Amino acid sequence: MIHQKNGFYDYTRIDQKLCQLASAIETNVLAYINPQNLPEEKTKFFEYLGKNEPYNPVFSYIPRNPIYSYFTMSPTFNTYKLELKELLTEIGDDTLGLILEKKIIDLFDRMEMSRSVGTQNFTGNAESYYGGVDTATERFAQEFLSKSFEIEKMTMGFDEAKKNIELFLKKKRLHYKVNKKESAGSKFSVNIRTKEILINPNQTFSANSLQRLIAHEIEGHIYRYENGLKQPYKIFSRGLSKETLETEEGLAVYVEQQQGINIDSQLKEYSGRVHAISTAMKHSFYETFTELRKYFSDEDAFNITLRAKRGVYKQDEGGAFTKDALYLKGMLLVKEFLKERSVTELYYGRYATNDTPLVLDIAGLVKPKYLPEFVKSKKQ
């Protein structure tokens, strides 16, 4: 049944309902694909490596959220699908209706991917959601992998890093807490829902690497989220289509570069992630690791391989989690977009480059409050 208000679609109500569903459905897939038994399997892997014997880890994962059962669909899962289908019947074919439809389709795809972690369907669902590695991205990665860069000295611990981040947040009047959180995959991450910046206490930073992370996570991701909250529809803070993440990560890398931060070593790691995915799609964990050793230390090769193979059904077979290709793919995409458009156009909220014409067609948009310094200086 189509709900209309004064002759128009009741998009305020639909926006509220869709955001409620998104809050329930958008589980952090990384929480489910990071292996529970990683320390033990990593130790075993390197023990076998020391004996020049191949070993493919056998990963176990945390118990599933009932919504995303391994092999069955729970009643809750089906209820959410029915509610999303009902919302599809309540929107028009105008600009805002198309935007809301993109988000509904995104949630359908995300549910299928999350439900398939650790199963034979995971690689296909991950590739369907995040995309694979295209020719241009693979070419860029191959060219960059052959380069070598000076390794930065990491001397800054948690307390000093936290102090620097808090000073930046205070200057920008952003109310986020800085907390510790151990993670196998990253030094630094942001939970925009809880307004937390999470730092791995076991990691250290250089001044340059901390500056890069602030540019990426805060000026790239948090700024778009905060601007999205100020829009007439809250869906702008959640991400509109499944292509949003590609633009999110690509824009964040672009911001790092435009801020004059040296990110050569990071670009090499992103290139390694792309190459790892391409290799992992057809090869085992051990074979992927062996390929990555040509360009990285054993520790880095293991960690990059892990990122590509986590969540995959069996580690002795081909298959990959393709999300990590988005950093380079997104960077190239954003640069192409910005040949003719302004960076500011990407800061009204969280959406993909190809969503931008629809977004800018919405009446009542609030101009972005938060913009990176290089954008302000160029008055884009």
Q: What is the pLDDT along the chain (380 residues), one digit of tens a residue?
A: 444 443 467 899 999 999 888 887 776 667 778 888 999 999 999 999 999 999 999 998 776 555 544 444 456 778 888 888 998 988 888 999 999 999 999 988 888 887 788 788 889 999 999 999 999 999 999 999 988 877 778 889 999 999 999 999 999 999 999 998 876 556 788 888 889 999 988 888 988 889 999 999 999 999 999 999 999 999 999 888 889 999 999 999 999 999 888 888 889 999 999 999 999 999 999 999 999 999 999 999 999 999 999 988 899 999 999 999 999 999 999 999 999 999 999 999 999 999 999 999 998 999 999 999 888 666 54
Provide the pLDDT for residue 6. Answer: 37
Q: Tokens 């009932």 label which residue?
A: 66
Question: Quick one: DSSP state of residue 237?
Answer: G
Ordered DSSP codes for 274-315: HHHHHHHTTS-HHHHHHHHTTTS-HHHHHHHHHHHHTT-S-T
How far is residue 41's CA from residue 361's CA, in Å, rounded to a whole number? 51
Provide the pLDDT for residue 1. Answer: 40
Provide the pLDDT for residue 178. Answer: 93
Provide the pLDDT for residue 5. Answer: 45
Provide the pLDDT for residue 74. Answer: 54
Provide the pLDDT for residue 380. Answer: 47
Q: What is the pTM of this model?
A: 0.86
Provide the pLDDT for residue 200. Answer: 87
Strand-pairing partners, residue 191, are 196
Going through the chain in order, the beta strands assigned E by DSSP cover 4-5, 8-9, 177-180, 188-191, 196-199
Indicate the SS3 state at residue 90.
Answer: coil
Ordered DSSP codes for 18-52: HHHHHHHH---HHHHHS-TTHHHHHHHHHHHHHTT
First to last CA, the chain: 44
| C-beta neighbour count of 149 within 10 angstroms | 13
Provide the pLDDT for residue 75. Answer: 63
